[in-house]
A = this chain, B = another copy of it.
Amino acid sequence: MVNLDPIAEDAIEPIALPVRDEDGRLDSDFIAAIEAAIEAEDSAELILLAANLHEADTGDLIETLAEDARADFVRLLGDEFDYTALTETDEAVRIKLLEALPNSEIAEALGELDSDDAVYILEDLDEEDQAEILGGLPYADRAQLQKALDYPESSAGRRMQSEFIAVAQFWTVGQTIDYMREAQDLPDSFYEIYVVDPAFKLLGAVALDKILRTKRDQKVTSVMDETRHAVLATEDQEEVARRFERYNLVSSAVVDETDRLVGILTVDDIVDVIQEEAEEDMRALGGVGDEEISDSVLTTARSRLTWLVVNLGTAVLASAVIGLFDQTIEAMVALAVLMPIVASMGGNAGTQTMTVAVRGIATQELGTRNMIRVLRREVLVGLLNGVALAILIGLTAWLWFQDLGLGVVIGGAIVINMLFAGLSGLLIPVALDRLKVDPAIASSVFVTTVTDVVGFFAFLSIAALWFGLPF
């Protein structure tokens, strides 16, 4: 980041301390100064330090503060605290902080915010607090927020902003500009205006640069883009995010079931959803839900235990397979030493294919059309790498135990397991997706089950046959 401050003298108030260090983390001296000001109940100093921060920095700062200092921070900043910062904190932090603040103050602050930010802050509170806060708002604001809250969770209606500019189809560009100069209650920033018919049905959008580049006497419809990608208010935010991403949208109109314009979505709201979506898949594959780094021990332990217990089932199943061969192992204990290698290699290869498949399904790059080609590829990759690893592991086992037969047996088992790894890594996520189960969440248990069971079974049974051992 470059420091460009040629007119800094005119700026209202230069902050003496840098807010972030070189790595982009909040600067520790800055945090210390804030903490000292809170400790000393020095409201003036705190305002000087923190009132002009960007809401994202304030949000990070709140997360960094000790839990009991957070409410003090908000209280000492008083009217200078920008509640938008709460949209930038973890859910757990936000809820606790809101519980510590008087509902009347929250209501007053929410009245000042854009409707999307107000809804974001309200939606996770319990119904009682919600009702009390809504009750403290002027009627128009309350009705607007209530309407947004009535849309399903994670829907476009929850994320949208109700402040926008809509003009009639017979207006000129000049009329539109004059109207914008006068209008109240506009969003903080916007990138297009909307054209509606007398029933408020959406006709299209006009980008602001188009308006600026067009003569005043032209009709707005002459520079309007027909709306091809309007979002339905009940649509899920992930669907919407995918569309924003695919079509490089910066903002989009939101309409109700009767095609009437009810709000707008801007890309800054959607960026978070896009990131969350990719992150969700990653967490799901890693066996963690939507936990946050600020969650408590109990919440975390409980949410992770579910996954571990499910995996315990897999592990026990794999053990049962080994149990079938207890006499074989007793006769040749080297098998017990080597068997985890076969299962582990299969598990790793299966995870590789599964990662690609899960992401391909999420981004819709993997579909029926290229299924056969991808399946063929996975089988060939499994065979190729299976043979490569079989040689490597076979040689290792041969040298280690001075037994060529053991090398051959483990090599053969590896090739078989790598093949099953490729097949299950692709087919299991695809099948789950068909069954409308999120492949990111459920795939890895099934894939590991396959690679463990096949790995142990192939290795131990080939060994029993090759060496003529009992089983």
Could you list which residues of chain A lie within 8 angstroms of chain B, going by C-beta atoms?
1-2, 4-8, 11, 23-26, 28, 31, 54, 56, 63-64, 90, 177, 180-181, 186, 189-191, 197, 201-204, 207-209, 211-215, 221, 226-232, 235, 239, 242-250, 255, 259, 266-268, 271-272, 274-275, 278-279, 281-283, 285-288, 291, 293-294, 296-298, 300-301, 304-305, 307-309, 311-312, 314-316, 318-319, 322-323, 326-327, 329-330, 333-334, 336-341, 343-345, 348-349, 351-352, 354-356, 359-360, 364-370, 374, 377, 380-381, 384-385, 388-389, 392-393, 396, 452, 456
Contacts and interface: CB of A to CB of B under 8 A. Distances in A.
- A interface SS class: helix
A384 B306 CA distance: 13
B348 A245 contact: no
A326 B315 contact: no
Contacts of A294: 370
Contacts of A54: 228, 247
A11 B226 CA distance: 9
Contact of A452 (B340, B348, B381): B340
Give the most central of A177, A211, A351, A366: most B CB within 10 Å.
A351
Give the most central of A63, A308, A318: most B CB within 10 Å.
A308
A247 B285 CA distance: 29
Contacts of A90: 365
13 contacts: A248-B271, A278-B282, A283-B356, A300-B377, A301-B380, A301-B384, A304-B352, A309-B392, A311-B344, A327-B333, A329-B329, A333-B336, A339-B340
Contacts of A315: 340-341, 344-345
State how many copies of this chain the complex holds: 2
Contacts of A177: 212
Contacts of A393: 312
Given A297-B377, A308-B348, A381-B300, A396 B316 contact: yes
Contact of A208 (B197, B203, B209): B209
A255 B2 contact: yes
Contacts of A26: 369
A373 to B, nearest CB: 9
**6 A-B pairs with the lowest CB-CB distances in the bound complex, closest first:** A286-B355, A278-B278, A248-B268, A282-B282, A336-B336, A208-B208
Give the most central of A63, A189, A255, A281: most B CB within 10 Å.
A189
A214 B182 CA distance: 10
Nearest to A278: B278
A170 to B, nearest CB: 13
Given A4-B255, A278-B279, A341 B312 contact: yes
Give the most central of A244, A248, A287, A456: most B CB within 10 Å.
A248
